[in-house]
C-alpha cells in the first residue's frame, strides 16, 4: 500500500452502508444453479450497486499467465474505460487492480488525480469521471490469485468499516463463483479426454444394468463400425444383447452374468455375436460393477473387445500343429514299415530265385510281391500326407494334368453327374509332382461324386489369380503374389462348419464303414503343403462345395530324380567295382551285401557314418560307390557323403531311404541331382541304378 493511501483508510462519518441481506441468497443460488460465471459476477456487482447508490463495482479475472487482467463484470463503469483496461498487466505501478495483484494485497487509492500508482491510467480514469478506486485480490482457498474486486467512486473517498466488510464479503462470493467455474471447466476437459479415449479404442464400451435383459444406459459409437448398429438403435431394446449372441454361446454369457451377480467381482466371458449384416464376430467381454449412488438397479460398465482375428489365427495355429503332429506320427510309422517291407520283398525275391516257374510255391511268391506293392502304396500315401515322400517335382502345366485326369474321371463318375473340365486358355505352370497332382484332382472329384448321390454338376477349372497384400492376408498366412488356382466345385450336399473343421485330418470321414477311408483330403492337404500352396473351402449344407487350391507360380530349378520302377531292366548289370554299403538295419545290410557280392562287386559294410569313415580311412583302395541309408544314428548319410566325397572326390553316391526328408538333402550335392532310392525297392532296381551311376 502506498504511503498516501494509508492515511485515508478509516471510517468516514456519514457514509453508512445499508446491509445486503439478499446478496448471499441471490449469488449462491446462481452458483448452485450453474449459471455462467459472467452472469454471476454481473449480478454480484449489480446487487451491491443497487443498494449503494454512487458506488461502482468491477471484477477483473486474472489469466493463467498470472499477469494479464480481463474485464469480467462492471455493470456501471463506462464501456470505453472497461475496454481500455481489458488486458492490462499487473505490475508495481499499474493502477489499483494491477498493483493489488502484483502486491497480493488490497490497494486503496482515495484520489486517482494525485496517486502515483495511477500515472499510466490517470487521464483515462479522470476523463471517464472516476476519482477513487479500492481494489482487493480475489484468491482461491489455496491462495492462488483469481482476479480483483474493485469499488470506484466518482469523488475522492476512503472506505469505512462497512465498506471493508462488504469487500470481504464480495471477494469471498466471487472467489467461490470463479473456483466453481474453473472446477467445472477442468471436469469438462477431463471428461472430454476420457470420452475421446473411450470412443477411439478399437472396442465397444458400455454401461448397462445387471441381468441378461438389463437395459443398456450407454454404448460407445464404435458399435456402429464393429457390429453395424447405431448406438440409439442398440439402446432402444434391452434384449438386443442376448438376441445377438450366437445361440450356442448364450449359455456361456448367461453363466458369466449369473456368476457376476453373485460375486460382483469381475464379469468376463468370450462369445460370438451376430453383426447386423450376419457376420459372426468373436468378443471378449470384461466388466466391473459401477457403484450405484442410491438403491436403484445395479449398473456395470464394461468393454467388448473384438477378438475375431485373434481367434482365427489361434485356430489356424492349432490346426497346423495338429496336422504336423499327425504327419510326424504317420511319417515315423511309414519309415519303419518301409524297412520291413524291404526285407520281406528281398527275401521273397531270393526265394523265388530258388524256385522254378512250375513250382507250386512260385505263385505264392508272386502273391507276396503283390501284397508288398500294395502295402508300399499305402505307406507312400501316408508319406505324401506327412510330406516326407520323395517326389518327381517338376515344372508342369496344370492344364495338361487336368485334361489327362479328366479323361479318367469320365469312367469314374456316374451318368447323372455332368462333368465340366475348364482349363484356362493360357498354360498354368506350377512346380509339382504330376502323379500326386493327378491324385489331388481325383480325390477331390471322388468326394464331389459321393456328395451328389442324386446327381448334379462337377466343375473343375484352372485360372490365374493375383493376390493383393490385403486379400492374401484375408486368406491366411500366404504371401501376396500370382497364384494358379485349381477350383473343384460340386452341387452336392455341402458341409456344416463342424465337419469342415475336421476334413483334412487323416481318417476323418462321415461315410459308412467301407465307403470312406478319411485319407482323401489328408493326402490333398499334404501334397498341397509340399508345393507351398494353400487350400480354401467354401461350403454350406445343401449348397454344394468348392475347393480352391492356390499353387505358387512356377520358377525353374533343379529337382530330384527317382528311377521309375517299370524302367527297362539292365540284364548285364553286373560289375567288379568296390562299393561301400552303409545301412543301420542289419537285415537289410546283410541282404544287400550278399546280393551285390553275388553280382560280382566287392562290398565293404558299415552300420553308420562313423564306422564307414573309419573303414574308408583304413582302406587305401579306391571306393567307387557309396551306397548309404539317409537316416542313421551317430552320423547320417548326408554328412557321410559330404565328408567322404571331400576326401575322395571320385567316389559316387547313391542314397537309400525309408523316410527321406527332401529339405535336408537340397543343394548338398552341388548341381547334379542326388539319386535316392525309396524303400522298399526291388533289388534289381538297385542293381540297375548302381550300374548306371558307375557308368556315368
Ligand atoms: P473320405 O472321402 O474317405 O470320407 P476324405 O478325406 O476324402 O475322406 O473326406 C473327408 C470328409 O469330408 C468326407 O467324409 C465328407 O464328410 C467331407 N467331404 C469332403 N469333400 C466333400 C464334398 N465335396 N462335399 C461334401 N462333403 C465333403
Ligand atoms: Mg474321399
Would you list the DSSP string of 568-597? PP-TT-----EEEEE-S-HHHHHHHHHHHH
Look at residue 205 in the predicted model and tell me its pLDDT: 94
Instruction: Give mean pLDDT, residues 143-148.
Output: 95
Instruction: Give mean pLDDT, residues 78-84.
Output: 95
- Residue nearest ligand 1's atom 14 by CA: 509
Look at residue 415 in the predicted model and tell me its pLDDT: 81
Instruction: Give mean pLDDT, residues 562-578.
Output: 56
Instruction: Give mean pLDDT, residues 172-189.
Output: 92
Atom of ligand 1 nearest to the CA of 547: 23
Look at residue 561 in the predicted model and tell me its pLDDT: 35
Task: Identify which of 341, 335, 334 has the alpha carbon closest to the alpha carbon of residue 368.
Answer: 341
Instruction: Give mean pLDDT, residues 346-357.
Output: 87
Q: How far away, in angstroms, is 412 Cα from ligand 1 center? A: 17
CA geometry: angle at 369 spanning 569 and 563, to 5°? Answer: 35
Give CA–CA dist 383/523, Å, rounded.
Answer: 9
Give CA–CA dist 292/445, Å, rounded.
Answer: 64
> Which of 509, 540, 541 is the pocket-test mutation for ligand 1 (most atoms within 8 Å of CB)?
509
State the pLDDT confidence band at 194, using cuts at 50, 70 and 90: confident
Atom of ligand 1 nearest to the CA of 520: 7
Q: How far away, in angstroms, is 247 Cα from ligand 1 center? A: 27
DSSP state of 89: B
Q: Quick check: 377 pLDDT over 50?
A: yes
Task: Specify the range with the lowest mean pLDDT, choosing from 150-164, 221-235, 316-330, 359-373.
Answer: 316-330
Give CA–CA dist 6/109, Å, rounded.
Answer: 9
Q: How far away, in angstroms, is 447 Cα from ligand 2 center? A: 5
Look at residue 634 in the predicted model and tell me its pLDDT: 81
* CA dist 83 → 87, 89, 298 (Å): 9, 14, 54
Look at residue 578 in the predicted model and tell me its pLDDT: 93
Q: Quick check: 5 pLDDT over 90?
A: no
Look at residue 665 in the predicted model and tell me its pLDDT: 46
State the pLDDT confidence band at 506, using cuts at 50, 70 and 90: confident
Look at residue 669 in the predicted model and tell me its pLDDT: 45
The pTM (predicted TM-score) of the whole model is 0.46
Look at residue 8 in the predicted model and tell me its pLDDT: 35
At 295-316, the pLDDT tens digits run: 677 899 999 999 998 888 777 7
At 460-502, the pLDDT tens digits run: 999 999 888 767 766 666 778 889 999 999 999 999 999 998 9
Look at residue 432 in the predicted model and tell me its pLDDT: 86
Give CA–CA dist 507/382, Å, rounded.
Answer: 11
Instruction: Give mean pLDDT, residues 69-92.
Output: 95
DSSP codes joined into one string, 634-652: SS-HHHHHHHHHHH-TT-E
Residue 496 beta carbon below 6 angstroms from any ligand 1 atom: no
Residue 506 beta carbon below 6 angstroms from any ligand 1 atom: no
Give CA–CA dist 495/639, Å, rounded.
Answer: 48
Look at residue 67 in the predicted model and tell me its pLDDT: 95
At 432-454, the pLDDT tens digits run: 888 778 888 988 998 999 999 99
Task: Specify the range with the lowest mean pLDDT, choosing from 81-90, 230-239, 254-263, 548-557.
Answer: 548-557
Q: Quick check: 615 pLDDT over 80?
A: yes
Q: Quick check: 206 pLDDT over 80?
A: yes
Task: Specify the range with the lowest mean pLDDT, choosing from 118-122, 284-288, 589-593.
Answer: 589-593
Mean pLDDT for the chain overall = 85
Tell me the CA end-to-end span of the chain in Å, nearest whole number.
Answer: 117
Q: CA 661, 667, 669, 671 torsion: positive or negative?
A: positive
Atom of ligand 1 nearest to the CA of 515: 3
DSSP state of 264: -
State the pLDDT confidence band at 423, using cuts at 50, 70 and 90: very high
Residue 208 beta carbon below 6 angstroms from any ligand 1 atom: no
Compare 15 and 516 and report the one with higher pLDDT. Answer: 516
Task: Specify the range with the lowest mean pLDDT, choosing from 61-75, 302-316, 504-518.
Answer: 504-518
Strands (E), 186-343: 203-209, 216-219, 267-274, 280-290, 299-306
Return phi, psi of residue 152, to 5°. -110, 150
* Cell numbers linked to 243: 438376441
State the pLDDT confidence band at 374, using cuts at 50, 70 and 90: confident
Q: Quick check: 18 pLDDT over 70?
A: no
Angle between helices 21-32 and 37-51 (to 10 degrees): 170
Give CA–CA dist 406/441, Å, rounded.
Answer: 9
Instruction: Give mean pLDDT, residues 268-284.
Output: 94
Q: How far away, in angstroms, is 416 Cα from ligand 1 center? A: 20
Task: Specify the range with the lowest mean pLDDT, choosing from 92-96, 356-360, 526-530, 666-670.
Answer: 666-670
Q: Quick check: 6 pLDDT over 70?
A: no
Look at residue 667 in the predicted model and tell me its pLDDT: 37
Instruction: Give mean pLDDT, residues 271-276.
Output: 96
Rounded to the nearest 10 degrees, how much is the dihedral formed by the CA atoms of 659, 664, 670, 672?
A: 30
Peptide bond into 508 cis (omega under 30): no
State the pLDDT confidence band at 540, using cuts at 50, 70 and 90: very high
State the pLDDT confidence band at 633, using cuts at 50, 70 and 90: confident
Task: Specify the range with the lowest mean pLDDT, choosing from 96-110, 364-378, 558-572.
Answer: 558-572
Q: Quick check: 234 pLDDT over 60?
A: yes
Q: How far away, in angstroms, is 446 Cα from ligand 2 center? A: 6
State the pLDDT confidence band at 340, using cuts at 50, 70 and 90: confident
Task: Specify the range with the lowest mean pLDDT, choosing from 44-48, 135-139, 407-411.
Answer: 407-411
> Which of 503, 548, 549 is the pocket-test mutation for ligand 1 (most atoms within 8 Å of CB)?
503
Q: Quick check: 384 pLDDT over 50?
A: yes
Give CA–CA dist 410/339, Å, rounded.
Answer: 38
Task: Identify which of 613, 605, 610 has the alpha carbon closest to the alpha carbon of residue 583.
Answer: 605
Q: Quick check: 600 pLDDT over 70?
A: yes
State the pLDDT confidence band at 674, using cuts at 50, 70 and 90: low
Q: How many CB atoms lie within 10 A of CB 29?
A: 12
Ligand lying nearest the CA atom of residue 509: 1
Long-range contacts of 277-282 (CB under 8 A, 24+ apart): 277/228, 280/246, 281/226, 281/227, 281/306, 281/308, 282/306, 282/307, 282/308, 282/310, 282/311
Q: For the chain, what is the largest distance between any 2 Cα atoms, rounded to a whole number of angstroms? A: 154
* Cell numbers linked to 563: 528311377
Amino acid at each position: 500500500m502506498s504511503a498516501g493511501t494509508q492515511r485515508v483508510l478509516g471510517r468516514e462519518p456519514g457514509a453508512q452502508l445499508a446491509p445486503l441481506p439478499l446478496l448471499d441468497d441471490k449469488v449462491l443460488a446462481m452458483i448452485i444453479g450453474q449459471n455462467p460465471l459472467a452472469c454471476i459476477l454481473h449480478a454480484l456487482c449489480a446487487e451491491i450497486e443497487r443498494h449503494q447508490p454512487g458506488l461502482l463495482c468491477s471484477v477483473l479475472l486474472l489469466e493463467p499467465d498470472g499477469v494479464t487482467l480481463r474485464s469480467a463484470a462492471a455493470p456501471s463503469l463506462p464501456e470505453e474505460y472497461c475496454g481500455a483496461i481489458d488486458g492490462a498487466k499487473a505490475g508495481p505501478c499499474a493502477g489499483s487492480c494491477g498493483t493489488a495483484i502484483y502486491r497480493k494485497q488490497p490497494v486503496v487509492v482515495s484520489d486517482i488525480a494525485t496517486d502515483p500508482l495511477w500515472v499510466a491510467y490517470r487521464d483515462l480514469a479522470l476523463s471517464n469521471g472516476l476519482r477513487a478506486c479500492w481494489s482487493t485480490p480475489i484468491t482461491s482457498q489455496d491462495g492462488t490469485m483469481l482476479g480483483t474486486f474493485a469499488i470506484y467512486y466518482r469523488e475522492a473517498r476512503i472506505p469505512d468499516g462497512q465498506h471493508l466488510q462488504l469487500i470481504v464479503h464480495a471477494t469471498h462470493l466471487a472467489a467461490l463463483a470463479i473456483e466453481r467455474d474453473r472446477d467445472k471447466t477442468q471436469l469438462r476437459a477431463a471428461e472430454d479426454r476420457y470420452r475421446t479415449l473411450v470412443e477411439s479404442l478399437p472396442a465397444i464400451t458400455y454401461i448397462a444394468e445387471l441381468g441378461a435383459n438389463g437395459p443398456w444406459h450407454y454404448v460407445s459409437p464404435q458399435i456402429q463400425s464393429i457390429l453395424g448398429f447405431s448406438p440409439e438403435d442398440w439402446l432402444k431394446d434391452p434384449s438386443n444383447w442376448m438376441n445377438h449372441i450366437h445361440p450356442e454361446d448364450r449359455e456361456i454369457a448367461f453363466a458369466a452374468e449369473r456368476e457376476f451377480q453373485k460375486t460382483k467381482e469381475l464379469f468376463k466371458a468370450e462369445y460370438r455375436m451376430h453383426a447386423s449384416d450376419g457376420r459372426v464376430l468373436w468378443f471378449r467381454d470384461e466388466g466391473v460393477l459401477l457403484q450405484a449412488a442410491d438403491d436403484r438397479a445395479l449398473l456395470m460398465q464394461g468393454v467388448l473387445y473384438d477378438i475375431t482375428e485373434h481367434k482365427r489365427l489361434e485356430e489356424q495355429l492349432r490346426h497346423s500343429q495338429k496336422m504336423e503332429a499327425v504327419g510326424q506320427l504317420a511319417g515315423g510309422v511309414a519309415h519303419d514299415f518301409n524297412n520291413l517291407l524291404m526285407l520281406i520283398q528281398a527275401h521273397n525275391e531270393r526265394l523265388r530265385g530258388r524256385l522254378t516257374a512250375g513250382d507250386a510255391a512260385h505263385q505264392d511268391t508272386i502273391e507276396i510281391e503283390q501284397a508288398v506293392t500294395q502295402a508300399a502304396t499305402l505307406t507312400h500315401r501316408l508319406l505324401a500326407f506327412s510330406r516326407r515322400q520323395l517326389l518327381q517335382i517338376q515344372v508342369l502345366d496344370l492344364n495338361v494334368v487336368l485334361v489327362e485326369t479328366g479323361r479318367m474321371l469320365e469312367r469314374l463318375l456316374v451318368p447323372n453327374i455332368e462333368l465340366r473340365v475348364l482349363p484356362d486358355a493360357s498354360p498354368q505352370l506350377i512346380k509339382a509332382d504330376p502323379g500326386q497332382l493327378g491324385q489331388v484332382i481325383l480325390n477331390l472329384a471322388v468326394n464331389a461324386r459321393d456328395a451328389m448321390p442324386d446327381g448334379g454338376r462337377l466343375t473343375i477349372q484352372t485360372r490365374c489369380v493375383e493376390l493383393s497384400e490385403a486379400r492374401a492376408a484375408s486368406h491366411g498366412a500366404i504371401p501376396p503374389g500370382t497364384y494358379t488356382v485349381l477350383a473343384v466345385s460340386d452341387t452336392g450336399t455341402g458341409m456344416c462348419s463342424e465337419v469342415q473343421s475336421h476334413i483334412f485330418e487323416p481318417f476323418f470321414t462321415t461315410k459308412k464303414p467301407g465307403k470312406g477311408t478319411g485319407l482323401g483330403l489328408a493326402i490333398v492337404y499334404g501334397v498341397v503343403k509340399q508345393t507351398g500352396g494353400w487350400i480354401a473351402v467354401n461350403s454350406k449344407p445343401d449348397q454344394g462345395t468348392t475347393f480352391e487350391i492356390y499353387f505358387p507360380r512356377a520358377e525353374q530349378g533343379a529337382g530330384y530324380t527317382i528311377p521309375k520302377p517299370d524302367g527297362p531292366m539292365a540284364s548285364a548289370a553286373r560289375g567288379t567295382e568296390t562299393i561301400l554299403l552303409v545301412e543301420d538295419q542289419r537285415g537289410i545290410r546283410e541282404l544287400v551285401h550278399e546280393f551285390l557280392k553275388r553280382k560280382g562287386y566287392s562290398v565293404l559294410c558299415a552300420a553308420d557314418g562313423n564306422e564307414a569313415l573309419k573303414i574308408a580311412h583304413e582302406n587305401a583302395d579306391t571306393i567307387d560307390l557309396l551306397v548309404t541309408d539317409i537316416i542313421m544314428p551317430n552320423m547320417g548319410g548326408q554328412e557321410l557323403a559330404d565328408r567322404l566325397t571331400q576326401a575322395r572326390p571320385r567316389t559316387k553316391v547313391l542314397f537309400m531311404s525309408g523316410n527321406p526328408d527332401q529339405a535336408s538333402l537340397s543343394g548338398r550335392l552341388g548341381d547334379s541331382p542326388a539319386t535316392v532310392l525309396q524303400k522298399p525297392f526291388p533289388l534289381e532296381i538297385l542293381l540297375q541304378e548302381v550300374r548306371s551311376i558307375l557308368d556315368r
